[in-house]
Structure 1
């Protein structure tokens, strides 16, 4: 593990391979271990696998911050002028925030299963489970909190837990329990967001690929479609038969799509 010192602690990251730099940004509640299927899949690229603040081995935040600024702190620490950003879910919104606020530091973005960081949830499935998860957090019932996380973001609205690849669900459970044990606070400090992200999307100039999974929540599909519609040069792809944890459920398709994007954007 490598460290970047920040005002209220540190950011943990791995530095693997060599070549054009690529920052991997994980889902909320999980940590950088989610990228294990991709760690040897990008020859010719230097992978910087970051734990977001409040996740994994990074520090628990104690003062206001923005996740995009943490990405820039990593690039500054390594004296890198710019990098590709590959993010899933929360990591995807972080990548888009960084591209909006620091476009000169971003070579290209792959975002999976997300819209911008100004997210909204309207469907009954998510609204009900988010309410129950909030109540579990208030009771400090970690087991229930994590199970509700798995129902929303691993199983999704159309599958029972036993219909999800068992290894994927268990891996996510372990990471989520670790995050809860290490970073749970009665008064959590939440990150800021890029201002007016939906309105600013048409001005996004970096190459962008937006991936979605067929079995993800309709709210995610709607927000992803809004991003693609707003960014004239954006590419998009929907993967059939997979849920929100696309890089774990279909690492073959995810990795091939990302590698093709990286190779094309690097040449261009």
Structure 2
């Protein structure tokens, strides 16, 4: 594990793959999880330098105590490594971070893949998510970590269309392990929430960075609606919806996810 020192802590990251000459690809994980989520991709992107970051308040990175923006942490890592730019591959929260970075720092982003997300100004309207988010908030107020994590799994691993026993084997267990780690290591009574890129939806038509959008067929309708909204706003965006998969695309269908990302990276690099 490597680290970047910050004013109020540090960021933890791994530097893997072709560290000698490969173009850098920064992998940005889902909220409540950590960089272990990228295990299936670590051997599937040959020829690239893979930077695998724990966001603040997750994994081995510090719990934030001062206001911050996740996109600024991306830039802090690139500056720390003297990298002028990198590909960004983000899932869920990581996808919103990637989009924020491309909007606020387009010269630092070679291309980006955003999976299962809208911009960081996301919104939730469907009854499935609204109900479970309310129950999760109540669990947090009761300090009921087990219930908090189980509701997270229901929303973002099972989704609205499946029972827990219908999720591919091992995916739920791994996500539970990561979510429990986050909930126990980084919980605090007065959490510091990250800032968001201003006017992100309105600014999308000006996004010039190459963009691939990925969604799972069994993800929440709110996610589908926001991803479609991005695709409509960014004329050059490429979209792929993966049949039979939910929100955790890279774990449920690592073959399809990794192949799509690798093709995108190779196309943008050659182009």
The yes-or-no answer on 1:2 pairing with 2:14 is: no
Give the 3-state SS of the residue equivalent to 2:170 in structure 1: helix
Residues 174-228 of structure 1 show CA distances to partners (whole Å, capped at 9, x for unaligned) of 0000001110001100000000000000000010000000000000000000000
Gap regions ≥5 residues in structure 1: none
Match of 2:137 in 1: 134
In 1: Cα distance, 2:155 partner to 2:141 partner: 18
Match of 1:217 in 2: 220
Gap regions ≥5 residues in structure 2: none
Describe how 1:94-109 pairs up with structure 2 within 5 A: 94-109=97-112
Aligned length: 268
Match of 1:229 in 2: 232
The yes-or-no answer on 1:197 pairing with 2:200 is: yes
In 1: Cα distance, 2:216 partner to 2:161 partner: 12
Shift, 1:166, TM fit: 2.8
Match of 2:15 in 1: 15
Residues 139-160 of structure 1 show CA distances to partners (whole Å, capped at 9, x for unaligned) of 0100000000000000000100
Match of 1:171 in 2: 174
Match of 1:114 in 2: 117
Match of 1:90 in 2: 93
Shift, 1:165, TM fit: 1.4
Give the 3-state SS of the residue equivalent to 2:250 in structure 1: helix
The yes-or-no answer on 1:256 pairing with 2:259 is: yes
In 2: Cα distance, 1:248 partner to 1:77 partner: 29
TM-score, L = length of structure 1: 1.00
Residues 54-104 of structure 1 show CA distances to partners (whole Å, capped at 9, x for unaligned) of 000000000000000000000000000000000000000000000000000
Describe how 1:143-158 pairs up with structure 2 within 5 A: 143-158=146-161
| Cα RMSD after superposing both structures | 0.4
Shift, 1:111, TM fit: 0.3
Question: Which deviates the most, 158-167 or 68-77?
Answer: 158-167
Q: Which residue among 220, 241, 251 is the counterpart of 1:238?
A: 241
